[in-house]
Amino acid sequence: MARRTVVKAAGGGALASGLPASAVSASRGAARGDARGDVRGDVLLVVEKSSHAVSFYDVTSGRLLGTVQLPDYPHEMVVDSRRRFAYVGHYGVRMASTVGEGGAAVFVIDLDQRALARTIDIRPYNRVHGMGIDDRDRLYALSEEKAVLLGFDDPATDRAPTRAVPTHGVKTHLFSLTRDGERAYVTGLLSHTVSLVRPYDAAVPPVLVTPGQLPESSCLSTDEKTLFVGARRSSALVAVDARTMKVRRSRKVGGDPLRVYTLDEDRLLVTDIVGNTLTVCATADLRPLRTLRLDGIPAAVSLHPDEAVAYVSLLDVDRIAVVDLDRLTVTGGFATRSEPDVSVLLPAARAS
């Protein structure tokens, strides 16, 4: 997965976005709420795949603050460090197994106005899924169909990709990115590979490894020396040397480990979409430490930057579960629209 970036949203609306009037009205209503002082807390930005939208939710009350309608089936999303824009890939089909050409665009969401600012047309690079952003706010988008990783040096103004590198995988779906953007690790669902590519030097050939069957999600350790991969069909969690691309260790964890997240230098968080569980695993030996069973399919997770709290998208029951990571218990939640998937927490400004 792309690295986690935390942002803050403000209110507003914009007719110039081309949004339906109802969506603009919702954004304006949320802005008035902010001005009245009744919406001051953290906001969760959620991609709702089958509602074909990105929505803003107050995490304390669960109230829907605004919605940005998009073309069919947006998927992955990242946010810049300045808390100005969210970037959403247009996958254009519901699932990886869905046949079709899909979308070929990146949607730029203005977080202050809660509106679609513009669309970057990236044809012929279609089925845009994995998204990433580095510590210089350079954007990366992955074409699953073309197996190419695209780069945008200034995504706030770029109207087309500024670079591209081949990944040598097949059905390339997601990637992890180093903080400086110099290395990207791209999973290939059909080639069953992870490719190490250099986004800023396409002359360097990718280095590939086969960590197991159907690798989809990955994450880097805090020191960026180890890549952790969920091999779904192998029901395994795999640790790969991030420089040599050699498998260091592999452990059967059962089920279908869809997504893997780094909690800290000692722990990982793994979602299982067969058992509907969250499992905390040790980075040292990949051993499961604790498991929580949920009431729906855990499609994706957002982590709070300052607290041991996770926001888990439950895809099939249209709900966000709020999980205390210290106790590994569900402490709350709220309803969403259809098929919540990737989310980003927009933390409120903290008083100094």
Q: Which tokens hold the place of 160? A: 């087309």
Query: What does the pLDDT read at residue 97?
Result: 85
Query: What does the pLDDT read at residue 350?
Result: 52
Helix, strand, coil % over all residues of the chain, rounded to 5: 5, 45, 50
pLDDT in tens, the chain (352 residues): 333 333 333 333 222 222 233 333 333 333 334 433 445 689 999 999 999 999 999 999 999 999 999 999 999 999 999 999 999 999 999 988 899 999 999 999 999 999 999 999 999 999 999 999 999 999 999 999 999 999 999 999 999 999 999 999 999 999 999 999 999 999 999 999 999 999 999 999 999 999 999 999 999 999 999 999 999 999 999 999 999 999 999 999 999 999 999 999 999 999 999 999 999 999 999 999 999 999 999 999 999 989 999 999 999 999 999 999 999 999 999 999 999 999 999 998 654 3
Separation of alpha carbons 235 and 302, rounded Å: 23
Tell me if 23 sits within 8 A of 70, measured CB to CB.
no
The secondary element (H helix, E strand) that includes residue 22 is: helix 21-36
Residues forming a β-bridge with 67: 55
Distance of CA 281 to the CA centre of its chain: 20
Distance of CA 165 to the CA centre of its chain: 21
Nearest to 300 by CA among 126, 77, 120: 77
Number of neighbouring beta carbons within 10 Å of residue 4: 16
- What is the reported pTM? 0.88
Tell me if 94 sits within 8 A of 50, measured CB to CB.
yes
* Vertex 333 angle, CA 331 and 336, to 5°: 170
Q: Starting at the earlier edge strand, list the strands of the sheet with 340-346.
A: 64-69, 53-58, 43-48, 340-346
Give just the sign of the alpha carbon dihedral 10, 65, 301, 330. positive
